[in-house]
Amino acid sequence: GNSVTQMEGPVTLSEEAFLTINCTYTATGYPSLFWYVQYPGEGLQLLLKATKADDKGSNKGFEATYRKETTSFHLEKGSVQVSDSAVYFCALRSPNAGKSTFGDGTTLTVKP
Amino acid sequence: GAVVSQHPSRVICKSGTSVKIECRSLDFQATTMFWYRQFPKQSLMLMATSNEGSKATYEQGVEKDKFLINHASLTLSTLTVTSAHPEDSSFYICSARGGMGGNTSTDTQYFGPGTRLTVL
């Protein structure tokens, strides 16, 4: 079955540091890949997505590239801000699948 | 586009009462909605998948008589926690798969803001 493995947290960085949160997956076929962000006390928001190999999703300075050869979708940001502190979830959905598969989430804390 | 609302955002109830949580897709039609439960500092736990006009599909270990799900229209799904007990206290999040309208994509889930349930 499908699975998503995320880098374990928590991750603590100083403001303006470079961020990488690793995500690898196992899936049949060619899934769509997603990153969601959850701010404290809120639901999840779609951050970015990619639907085919070599696609790069980007939003708010975050990027992730769909790497089929390594089955990865690592999230990166060149310079994090305190406001980026949140929980980040990697997810996938296979074509014709009824539901998405989520990773366990990675908590990011950015200190001033 | 792609706005999903939940109501109420917070609810406190006495043990033994029932609580209904509404999930609405405001600007698109969602044939499929999902209900999740999230404990503090933990990941999402999928409870059930509901399709408009049919019975919900529950995940293993989720009591269907305890957590009643109704998806009567393309924009509304409800979760009723029956005879709630303190162990049901949690953060409940719904999401809707994109469909017609709202510049949505059918491969993407759009999430509501969540409902914090506290059972005394």
Written as six digits, the tokens of A87 are: 């929980």
What confidence score (pLDDT) does residue B4 get? 92
> What percent of chain B clears pLDDT 90, i.e. is strictly above it?
68
In A43-70, which positions are buried (b, 16+ CB within 10 angstroms) versus exposed (e)? bbebbbbbbeeeeebeeeebbbbbbeee
Rounded to a whole number of angstroms, the distance from the CA of A84 to the nearest CA of chain B is 17
- Beta-carbon-side half-sphere exposure of residue A51 (alpha carbons within 13 Å): 5
Q: Are B86 and B119 in contact (CB under 8 A)?
A: yes
Average pLDDT in the B13-42 region?
92
pLDDT means per 10 residues, chain A with 112 residues, are 90 97 92 94 91 96 97 97 96 83 94 96
pLDDT tens profile B55-95: 899 999 999 999 999 998 999 999 999 999 999 999 999 99
Count chain A–chain B contacts defined by CB atoms under 8 A: 51
Q: Which of B18-32, B62-76, B102-116 has the lowest mean pLDDT?
A: B102-116
Question: Is pLDDT larger for residue B101 or for residue B109?
Answer: B109
Q: Is the pLDDT score of B1 beyond 70?
A: no
Strand order in the sheet with B76-81: B4-7, B19-25, B76-81, B67-73
Task: Point out the residue among B4, B43, B109 whose CB comes nearest to the CB of A100.
Answer: B109
Rounded to a whole number of angstroms, the distance from the CA of B9 to the nearest CA of chain A is 10
B107·A93 Cβ contact <8 A: yes
Where do we find the tokens 């007990």? B85
Q: Is the pLDDT score of B102 beyond 70?
A: yes
A43·B6 Cβ contact <8 A: yes
Q: Chain A residues with CB inside 8 Å of B37's CB? A: none
What confidence score (pLDDT) does residue B103 get? 81
